[in-house]
Amino acid sequence: MNQPSTNLVRGTVDLLILRALQPGPAHGYAVSRWVHERTNAVLALEDAALYQALHRLEDKGWIESEWGLSENNRRAKYYQLTPAGRRQLRTEIGAWKSYAEAVFKVIETA
């Protein structure tokens, strides 16, 4: 039996990370856990993709990081949105809503 694909569409990872950081700073594992829990385990961020995206978003100036201690008293890098990242999140959400509406128009007529 064929299973539906839950592979993340290109660009989705950035949106998910930005949204996960909207409430406040978080380390990479917390971002991954938030996405997993928020989507009822339908979506998962693989470590490599997550950390590549975090570095890319930092290079773009959408997030910034600093070292701190995790809830387990381990050294962890915490990421937070910059003002530019908040603006980008609003842009990304608008684009994804339009995209989703268009896809639903297609599949609802099937």
- 35 occurs within a structural domain: yes
> What total of structural domains would you count in the chain?
1
Work out the average pLDDT over 2-7.
48
Domain with residue 39: its CATH number is 1.10.10.10
Q: Mapped to the 3 state alphabet, what secondary structure does 39-103 carry?
A: CCCCCCCCHHHHHHHHHHHHHCCCEEEEEEECCCCCEEEEEEECHHHHHHHHHHHHHHHHHHHHH
pLDDT tens-digit series, residues 70-105: 888 999 999 999 999 999 999 999 999 999 999 999
- 98 occurs within a structural domain: yes
- 64 occurs within a structural domain: yes
Instruction: Name the residue among 11, 22, 73, 13 with its Cα closest to residue 46.
Output: 13
- 4 occurs within a structural domain: no
pLDDT tens-digit series, residues 16-46: 999 999 999 999 999 999 999 999 999 999 9
Rounded-to-integer distance, Cα 39 and Cα 6, Å = 11
Total-model pTM: 0.87
Domain span at residue 28 reads: 12-108
- 7 occurs within a structural domain: no
